[in-house]
Amino acid sequence: MGCILLTGQGVAMSQSNQKAATIVVLLGPPGAGKGTHATAMSEHLSLPHISTGDLFRENIRNNTVLGQNVKSFMNQGKLVPDELVLDMLFQRMEAPDCARGCILDGFPRTVAQAKALDAKLSKNTRIIALNFNVPDSVLIERITGRLVCKDCKKPFHKRFDPPKQANVCDTCGGTLVTREDDQENIVRKRLEVYHEESQPLIEYYAKKNDSLREVDSQNPKEQVFRDILLALSTLKTKESL
Ligand code: AMP
C-alpha cells in the first residue's frame, strides 16, 4: 500500500517527521454507546470524531457514487467492502483538524482494516482501543429505540434518553430520525456480523503494546464517561492528548 501524500496537516501517516498524534479506536457491538460517548470525548479531548457510518450516510443523502455503491450493503446489515471504506477514511484523516489525531467510531471493523490503518500511520502515532462491553440481550432494545439528529448527529433514545420535544434535537433543533438499518431484522444481522468479523479486533489490540482498555457500557452514561476518562489516563496518554 503506497503512503498518502500529505499536505503535512492531517494525522501522522507514514512520515517520521510528523508530530505525535493519538488515535482513539472505539470497539464494541452496534448500540454499545460508541457514538454517544464519541461526541463527549471529542469535546473533552479536542479531537475530531470520525464515524465511517456517518460518512457513508452523508454520501447516501447526497446521492454520490460512493453512496449508491454502499447503500445495499448497509441496508442488509453487511460490511461495506474495504476498497470503499479505506480511501474514504484515509482521505478524511488527512484533513488539518486531524493533526493531533482523531476518534474513530466504526473503524476498524475487521482485523484486515486494523492492519491497513497500522500500515498508514507513522511511528509517532499512538493507537488506543476502548472496548465497549454490553451483552447482546440489551442491545436490541437499545438500538431499535434509537433516534438520531439528521443535522448534528446527536443520538437519543425513545425510552432511555428522550428529547425534550418529540422528534426535535435538544442541541440544534434538527429533526430526529430512525436509521434505516436500526430495524430489528437488520440489527440482528449486524450483531451477527459484529461477532464474526469485528470481535477478533479485541484480541488484536490486546496483544498490541497494551493498547486495549475495557469499558462496562451497561452502567449509567455519566459513569461510563468517567470510566472512559480513567481508562485513557491509565494509558498515560494525557501528555499527547
Ligand atoms: P455504523 O454507523 O458504525 O453502525 O455503521 C453502519 C453501517 O455502515 C455498517 O453496518 C456497515 O454496513 C457500514 N460500515 C461502517 N463502517 C464500516 C467499516 N469500517 N467497514 C465496513 N462497513 C462499515
User: How confident is the model over 172-181, as pLDDT tens digits?
Assistant: 999 999 999 9
- Residue 93 binned pLDDT confidence (cut-offs 50, 70, 90): very high
Average pLDDT estimate for 2-21: 54
What is the rounded distance in angstroms from the CA atom of residue 51 to the CA atom of residue 103? 8
pLDDT at 6: 39
Which residues, 6+ apart, have CB-to-CB distance to 223 below 8 Å? none
What is the rounded distance in angstroms from the CA atom of residue 137 to the CA atom of residue 29? 12
Structure pTM? 0.87
Which entry of 78, 100, 179, 188 is annotated as an active-site residue? Answer: 179
pLDDT at 193 over 50: yes
pLDDT at 5 over 50: no
CA of 79 to the centre of ligand 1 (A): 6
Just give the CATH number of 21-135+197-234.
3.40.50.300
Ligand 1 neighbours (beta carbon < 6 A): 30, 51-53, 56, 73-74, 77-80, 85, 106-107, 109, 113, 181, 190
